[in-house]
């Protein structure tokens, strides 16, 4: 079992780059990380902390590769009480009301299932960051700290 599983929802690969940047930093602390670009319910087996990194497409929809996972979670809800998680939402604020809607859907679903948010949701705005991985630096410091504290609690 890995310490952290990163579930990615992406259309153009920006969220994959963000996931890889987080994975590299977490692995440097000695924790093990798995990145999954085709998530499903089986991705939640074990007790790994879950990081969801997803963009938004269409008018506030999840990317196709992560939509089935979200549907599965709604149709066959799993108790995730005590499971630590966080969400990084890539979006574009010029979309107005649907800004980062995909990440917000995942965040609400995990919270509904009783998972514990280790960090507030991080939004990365394409208008601000041409390279989305540049949008995580402050978040990353706090995340490594939160992850360490959560792992120590066992
Ligand atoms: C066709 C299309 C629709 C989009 N719809 C939204 C949207 O509804 N809300 C939002 O915040 N961003 C939207 N975006 C912006 C993407 O979420 C953003 O560019 C993101 O960084 C892409 O990440 P990815 O490469 O992982 O897919 C849209 C982008 C495209 C091309």
Residue 78: its pLDDT value, please? Answer: 85
Residue 82: its pLDDT value, please? Answer: 87
**Average pLDDT of the residues of the chain:** 95
Per-residue pLDDT at 153 exceeds 80: no
Residue 152: its pLDDT value, please? Answer: 82
Residue 47: its pLDDT value, please? Answer: 84
CATH fold group of domain 2-153: Rossmann fold (3.40.50)
Report d(CA 39, CA 16) in Å as an integer.
13
Residues with CB under 6 A from ligand 1: 10-15, 55-60, 63, 90-92, 95, 98-101, 126, 132
The pLDDT confidence band at residue 154, using thresholds 50, 70 and 90, is: low
Residue 133: its pLDDT value, please? Answer: 97
Average pLDDT rounded to a whole number, residues 24-30: 97
The pLDDT confidence band at residue 95, using thresholds 50, 70 and 90, is: very high
Residue 70 near residue 106 (C-beta atoms within 8 A): yes
Among 7, 11, 19, residue to substitute to test ligand 1 (most atoms within 8 Å of Cβ): 11
Three-class SS of the chain: CCCEEEEEECCCCHHHHHHHHHHHHHHCCCCCEEEECCCCHHHHCCCCEEEEEECCECCCECCCCCHHHHHHHHHCCCCCCCCEEEEEEEECHHHHHHCCHHHHHHHHHHHHCCCEECCCCEEEECCCCCCHHHHHHHHHHHHHHHHHHHHHHC
Phi/psi for 62 (5° steps) reads -80, 150
Q: How far is the CA of 12 from the centre of ligand 1 (A)?
A: 9
pTM, whole model, 2 decimals? 0.98
138-151 pLDDT per residue, tens: 999 999 999 999 88
Atom of ligand 1 nearest to the CA of 8: 26
């Amino acid at each position: 079992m890995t310490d952290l599983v990163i579930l990615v929802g992406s259309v153009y690969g920006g969220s994959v780059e963000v996931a890889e940047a987080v994975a590299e930093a977490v692995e440097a602390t000695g924790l093990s990380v798995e990145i999954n670009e085709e998530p499903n319910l089986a991705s939640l087996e074990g007790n790994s902390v879950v990081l969801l990194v997803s963009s938004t497409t269409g008018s506030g929809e999840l990317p196709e590769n992560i939509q089935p996972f979200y549907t599965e979670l709604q149709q066959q809800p799993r108790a995730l009480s005590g499971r630590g998680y966080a969400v990084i939402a890539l979006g574009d604020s010029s979309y107005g009301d649907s800004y980062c809607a995909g990440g917000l859907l995942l965040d609400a679903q995990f919270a509904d299932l009783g998972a514990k948010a280790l960090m507030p949701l991080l939004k990365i705005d394409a208008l601000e960051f041409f390279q989305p991985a540049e949008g995580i630096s402050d978040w990353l410091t706090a995340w490594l700290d939160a992850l360490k504290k959560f792992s120590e609690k066992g």
